[in-house]
Structure 1
Amino acid sequence: MMRPFSSRQSRQLIASLLLPLSLLAAGGVAMAQTASPSYRIVGYAGGWNPAQTKDVGKIDTLIFAFAHPKGGQVVIDDHDLAHLHDLLALKKLNPRLKVDISVGGWTVGGFSEAASTEAGRQLFADSAAQLVAAQHADGLDVDWEYPGHHESGIKSSPQDKTNYTLLLKAIRASLDRVGAANGRTGANHYTLSVAIADGPFVDHVDIAGINPYLDWFNLMTYDFVNADTPTTGHHTGLHPSKLIQGDGRTTDRAVQQFLAAGVAPGKLLIGAALYGREFADVKPDHDGLYQTYGHYQDAHNWPELKQDYINKHGYVRYWDADAQAPWLWNAQTRSFISYDDPQSIAAKMAYIKAQHLGGIMYWEQTIDPSDELLDDMWKGLH
């Protein structure tokens, strides 16, 4: 689930964006090798931190988050356009970089309504394609969370399953039509991807039906445990833990679900999280892993985890060899944190290669200014 930034994250983002990109560019950028075309590294980004410019060559696609449906059309608020333009400016430093626009996000509605009629789907599709062309972007990402579901507070309908497929079909046609008028055809065509979950969150999605219209799937293989789940656990675990119950969600189970629906491995990008999730008042069995808890505490970005939590202040790091995932347990405060780290990232990169997947996607670019985990992704795929 792609959630809005917290107020603290927003302040950090705004502060970072005040640093002019030109200051770093003027001093020269140590460009890394561009990623192998065999694997795609894709990052969602609400903006750009100039401190990360040195690593722009490691990224294949940045997906701007977010545009929104308004009045049935896809639009970007005026105050967000500057953030998109910061991403587009990076193409001068890495000509192979693609910048797409994502529409939606957690709690963002308007999809079910727009998709419910042919006219609504056409208006949505045409406005999206025109926005991509007008901003000189490279494609569109649809982040409807989720068809047939209303957990995020959005409207849904039993007809969403059929209408979601029809909406993506209309978007694909509009992107192709507008692309042809702008010389974007063949290998340079406007791309279409989706941010999509797994398990029960795609019970109103015809995976096989939408597959022909998409260039790739961004599998949101994180937030498996969160404030709405009854226990702690690995929020972005690769494989099942011995303690996981029933059909609990994991990255591998998500991949197998989409493969079984007929999606080619190369079109699947698994997700990595640059943040962790903390639970409080946790039952202490198994050092808090897959236990009930009193309340959800907070999210912590990777730099914060390193500075204040991992093997600090009573938080002890543990490794689940079955799940290929770390966790932190504070026995004194009975606090539990699930997160991704270099070891779990390395396991995911090995899995991508073994399964011949399309690559890795992560949320979110600005919350790891050091690019440590991005660097681990890049090294793992090269």
Structure 2
Amino acid sequence: MKIETKKPVVIGYVTGYSGLINVDEIAAEKLTHINYAFVNVKNNKAYLDNEKRDVENFKRLNTLKIKNPNLQLLISIGGWSWSENFSDAVLTDSLRNGFAKSAVDIIRKNNLDGVDIDWEYPGMQGEEGNVYRMEDKMNFTLMFEAIRKELDVLEKETGKKKWLTTATGGFPYFLTNTEMGKAQKYLNFINLMTYDYYSSKQAGHHTNLYNSKTLSDNSADKAIKAYIKDGVPASKIVMGIAFYGRNLTLTPSSQRGLGDTILSSANSYGKGYTFLKDSLINKKGFVEYRDEDAKAPYLFNPTTKQYISYDNEWSVAQKCDYVLKNKLGGVMFWEYSSDKKGYLLDQITKSFK
């Protein structure tokens, strides 16, 4: 008898805030889920900030089911800029129930498949000005319970499975302000944002799988182990992949890039992987290196002292291999349009074949 092994999920975040989505640019057959970013939290409810645009985008995304009938479409609520009102919105039972209803109403009206919560971050600052409080720890769990209840109602109405996922901090400290072991019971997947790691002093990696020999900082492996220890089943953990680079300018005396001293962080080359591969990797004075310990690439320009950290096909293959070996839920990436030519998504497809 052949044992069915579950194929890993491939969750792509697609942004609506940049305007109308061109679905011809989305390889729907290579994805299992699309998370639409973002839905706002306003007056303690899930809120479409630009309803006309968002509803049109939902219609467009739904047409992708012609190409891939199994594709699941979720709204992602929050994000870095819109997480400030979560703490207030889920403070009491009645507020949580109202918030849950408002979130599920959006997917009911627009024929979608689920809700993803991207609260950055319960019990800690996140973006400056965010409301956060000690009670977030418990309310985070209770919020998922309330949303799950509403989704169960919708499941009965439609006879279709409805998903509840969350994007969480890809670092162990996130676990001190949440009850992930309890919260996971209500969740299908937990998408670890194992990217945007940075240090203030030395140039490191922003989306490394393991620790670097020279710098022991955050890593995907460290976060995943911590989540499992906290009671999250490996099969619900989804590893984050960065489809974009982060760049730094290092001090004039920098010789090698990795581990050298940071002068400033800049955005001039904070672009997507298609741009990096086509225009910068081993071009214009940039040399690509591999940190074999961290399983992470980086670019360094010895003349301009620019340093860029990112994921490439090699590091993505390493991550997918890790997912398969450790029987994780799959991978997710931020964000689709950063790699227009699909270099990294093609690698994910190849790795999971």
Q: Cα 1:282–1:380, aligned 2, differ >3 Å: closer, same or farther?
A: farther
**Residue matched to 2:67:** 93
Per-residue deviation, 1:134: 1.1
State TM-score, norm by structure 2.
0.92
Does 2:315 align with 1:344?
yes
Q: Is the 8 A contact 1:43 1:361 kept in 2?
A: yes
Corresponding residue for residue 194 of structure 1: 166
Contact 2:23 2:61 in 1 (8 A): no
Q: Distance in 2 between matches of 1:350 and 1:283?
A: 38
Matched, 1:136 2:111: yes
CA distance in 1, matches of 2:297, 2:280: 13
- Report if the CA contact (8 A) 2:300-2:307 is conserved: yes
What per-residue deviation string (whole Å, max 9, x for no partner) do you get for residues 290-330 of structure 1? 33312111111111112322111111100011001100111
For residue 179 of structure 1, what is the amino acid of its counterpart? Answer: E
Q: Which of residues 3, 23, 30 is equivalent to 1:58?
A: 30
Distance 1:327 1:171 in 2: 40
* Per-residue deviation, residues 80-112 of structure 1 (Å, max 9, x unmatched): 322232212211221111111110000212100
Q: 1:210 to 1:284 in 2, by over 3 A?
A: farther
1:294 aligns with 2:259: no
1:284/1:331 contact within 8 Å kept: no
User: Among residues 76, 79, 83, which one is paired with 1:102 in the alignment?
Assistant: 76
**Equivalents in 2 of 1:49, 1:369: separation in Å?**
11
1:45 aligns with 2:14: yes
Residue 122 of structure 1 pairs with residue 107 of structure 2: no
Distance 1:317 1:284 in 2: 19
Question: Is the alpha carbon distance of 1:123 and 1:191 closer, same or farther for their aligned partners in structure 2, counting shifts above 3 Å?
Answer: same
1:284 to partner: Cα distance? 5.0
- SS of 1:45's partner is strand
- The answer to whether the aligner puts 1:328 opposite 2:302 as a matched pair is no
CA shift, 1:174, in A, is: 1.2
SS at match of 1:140: strand
Amino acid at match of 1:327: Y
In structure 2, the gaps of 5 or more residues are none
- Contact kept? 2:11, 2:33, Cα under 8 Å: yes
For 1:70, which of 42, 47, 59 is the aligned residue?
Answer: 42
In the TM superposition, 1:347-358 aligns within 5 A as 347-358=318-329
**Other structure's SS at 1:203 match:** helix
Letter in 1 for 2:290: W
> Alpha carbons of 1:334 and 1:57: their partners in 2 closer, same or farther (altered >3 Å)?
same
C-alpha contact (below 8 Å) 1:282/1:336 kept by paired residues: no
2:207 is equivalent to residue 232 of structure 1: no
Cα pair 1:105 1:145 within 8 Å, conserved? yes
- The corresponding residue for 2:180 is 207
* Count of residue correspondences: 338
Q: Which runs of 5+ in 1 are unaligned?
A: 1-35
Query: What TM-score does the superposition give when structure 1 sets the normalisation length?
Result: 0.85
Amino acid at match of 1:213: Y
How far off its partner does 1:232 sit?
2.2
Q: Secondary structure at the match of 1:287?
A: coil
Verify: 1:309 aligned to 2:297, yes or no. no
Opposite residue 91 of structure 2, the aligned amino acid is: S
The aligned residue for residue 29 of structure 1 is none
Matched letter for residue 283 of structure 2 = K
CA contact (8 A) 1:326 1:344 kept: yes
SS for the counterpart of 2:147 is helix
Question: How far apart, CA to CA, are the structure 1 residues paired with 2:227 and 2:271?
Answer: 30
- SS at the partner of 1:291? coil
Render the CA deviation track for 1:335-371: whole Å, top value 9, x for unaligned.
Answer: 1100000110111111111111111100011221111
Does the CA-based 8 Å contact 2:76-2:116 persist in structure 1? Answer: yes
Alpha-carbon shift at residue 49 of structure 1 (Å): 3.6
Paired residue for 1:278? 247
Structure 1 CA distance for aligned equivalents of residues 255 and 23 of structure 2: 42
2:94 corresponds to which letter in structure 1? A
Residue 271 of structure 1 aligns to a residue whose secondary structure is strand
- 2:231 matched to which residue of 1? 262
Question: What's the Cα RMSD here?
Answer: 1.6
2:135 is the counterpart of 1:159: yes
The alpha-carbon distance between structure 1 residues 166 and 50, as it changes in their structure 2 partners (threshold 3 A), is: closer
Q: Which residue of 2 aligns with 1:365?
A: 336
CA distance in 1, matches of 2:105, 2:333: 27
Whether the 8 Å contact between 1:45 and 1:366 is mirrored in structure 2 is yes
- What amino acid does structure 1 have at the position aligned with 2:190? F
